[in-house]
């Protein structure tokens, strides 16, 4: 058996602050066995670095990396989420195994470079051969994730309809899943192929547009019974809420809260147009919310009303979603900045001590890990040894002090300050 590996940076974020003299012992499996002042001789190869828990990206659609730079011209008319969706469908129709692998690998490699060490890949682009429902693209994305070294939870999506009460059409047929029984057979087949501790599975109902309430309830109950996390797009667009109310008498979030009694296993993505009352009832059961500020801005989704939420204990996580820009530093700062612009107040997303940067970091690390069911997002014994390295000499951090380093990074640092990452104790 190999002896444990020990890392020691100049400063390490542990127990809510940067501390010096912290040594991290990593076992053969890639988990943290001990951390603290261990009295072990090290070569201090990280003497000019700070160590953070690796960022956890709770919501990604890797293939949408192929849209970067596209759809940003609006001659004669303004665009919307719905016009962007047509551009996304056009990309979907062009993809094959090779191009999907390239896009996924590019997105995952960019995540590693940005200090992201784990991702929840919300995967609904399933089929190469639509008539056969071959699920060939599931393996492509898993292969890209494995090759990148990124810890990945493939959030396998159920997608049965093309809108509330509508059939799948056009590019949507590449998303199609059979009935819940057929969906679970695919989950079982994927489970049998997983031979890498960095890869695991979760379950998705894409949205109330793609699955009716009965199907969502059945999927959620089975996922909870299997101990799998469950994610769902919720109330990103007002049209979705209107359609859902007309069909089922409630908006999506209220409907899911009433019918499913969701707990910590359930992460609602976006909630851009959710009411504070609906969010409060959902969060009271332990449900979490994942926000994707850069994508929500790019698609003109809107800014959620989260001043009350920022002051509560609800679990918040962050995602890069469409991957138009992959930067968890920017996701963190724009989570707070969006709330400042909407509310006219500074310091909306804060911890119990009123600290903003530490709460934002928690959203980008421990919050994401909780949403994905991972032992990650903290530097503590038993957690995976997943870390982001910060270059203390980077110009964007010039003038930092130990007590201001995190604020300097979150509110003033660029991705150039990220010097690398470790996943399971292995550097990129």
- Please spell the DSSP secondary structure of 353-404, one letter per residue: TS-HHHHHHHHHTHHHHHHHT-S-SS-STTSB--EEEEETT-GGGTT--TTT
What pLDDT, in 10s, does the model give residues 160-178?
A: 999 998 999 999 999 999 8
Query: Is there a catalytic annotation at residue 394?
Result: no
Share of the chain above pLDDT 90, in %: 88
Mean pLDDT across the stretch 345-362? 94
What pLDDT, in 10s, does the model give residues 31-88?
A: 999 999 988 887 667 999 999 999 999 999 999 999 999 888 888 778 889 899 999 9
Question: Which of 102-116, 302-316, 379-393 has the least mean pLDDT?
Answer: 302-316
The pLDDT value recorded for residue 43 is: 63
The pLDDT value recorded for residue 175 is: 97
Catalytic residue among 243, 278, 321, 362: 321
Mean pLDDT across the stretch 111-140? 96
Instruction: State the fold for domain 5-53+380-427.
Output: Urease, subunit C; domain 1 (2.30.40)
Task: Answer for the pair 386, 24: CB distance below 8 angstroms, yes or no.
Answer: no
pLDDT value at 311 more than 50:
no
What pLDDT, in 10s, does the model give residues 2-24?
A: 556 899 999 999 999 999 999 99
pTM across the whole model: 0.97
Residue 294, phi then psi, degrees to nearest 5: -70, -45
The pLDDT value recorded for residue 73 is: 86
Q: What is the mean pLDDT of the chain?
A: 94
Query: Is there a catalytic annotation at residue 270?
Result: yes
- Per CATH, is 55-372 categorized as 3.40.720.10? no
Domain boundary assignment for the chain: 5-53+380-427, 55-372
Catalytic residue among 220, 270, 273, 394: 270
């Amino acid at each position: 058996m190999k002896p444990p590996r020990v890392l020691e940076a100049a400063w390490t974020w542990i127990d809510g602050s940067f501390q010096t003299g912290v040594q991290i012992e990593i076992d053969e499996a890639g988990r943290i066995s001990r951390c603290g002042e261990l009295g072990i001789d090290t070569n201090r190869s990280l003497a000019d670095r700070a160590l953070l828990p690796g960022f956890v990206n709770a919501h990604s659609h890797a293939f949408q990396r192929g849209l970067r730079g596209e759809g940003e011209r609006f001659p004669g008319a303004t665009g919307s989420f719905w016009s962007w969706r047509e551009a996304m469908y056009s990309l979907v129709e062009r993809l094959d195994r090779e191009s999907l692998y390239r896009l996924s690998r590019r997105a995952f490699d960019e995540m590693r470079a940005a200090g992201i060490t784990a991702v929840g890949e919300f995967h609904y682009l399933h089929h190469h051969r639509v008539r056969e429902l071959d699920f060939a693209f599931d393996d492509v994305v898993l292969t890209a994730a494995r090759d990148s070294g990124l810890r990945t939870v493939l959030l396998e999506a159920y997608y049965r309809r093309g809108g509330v009460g509508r059939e799948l059409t056009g590019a949507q047929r590449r998303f199609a899943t059979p009935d819940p029984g057929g969906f679970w057979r695919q989950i079982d087949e994927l489970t049998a192929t997983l031979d890498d501790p960095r890869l695991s599975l979760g379950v998705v109902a894409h949205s109330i547009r793609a699955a009716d309430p009965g199907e969502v309830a059945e999927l959620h109950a089975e996922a909870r019974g299997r101990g799998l996390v469950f994610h769902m797009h919720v109330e990103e667009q007002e049209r979705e809420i209107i359609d859902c109310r007309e069909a089922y008498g409630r908006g999506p979030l209220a409907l899911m809260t009433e019918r499913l009694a969701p707990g910590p296993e359930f992460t609602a993505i976006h909630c851009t147009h959710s009411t504070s009352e609906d969010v409060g009832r959902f969060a009271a059961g332990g449900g979490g919310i994942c926000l994707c500020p850069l994508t929500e801005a790019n698609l003109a989704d809107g800014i959620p009303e989260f001043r009350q939420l920022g002051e509560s204990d609800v679990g918040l996580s962050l995602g890069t979603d469409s991957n138009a820009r992959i930067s968890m530093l920017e996701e963190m700062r724009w989570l707070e900045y969006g709330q400042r612009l909407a509310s006219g107040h500074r310091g909306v997303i804060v911890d119990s001590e009123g600290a903003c940067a530490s709460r934002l970091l928690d959203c980008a690390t421990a919050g994401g890990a909780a949403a994905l069911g991972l032992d990650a997002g903290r530097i503590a014994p038993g957690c995976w040894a997943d870390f982001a390295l910060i270059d203390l000499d980077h110009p964007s951090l010039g003038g930092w002090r130990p007590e201001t380093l995190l604020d300097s990074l979150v509110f003033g640092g660029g991705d150039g300050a990220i010097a690398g990452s470790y996943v399971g104790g292995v550097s990129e």
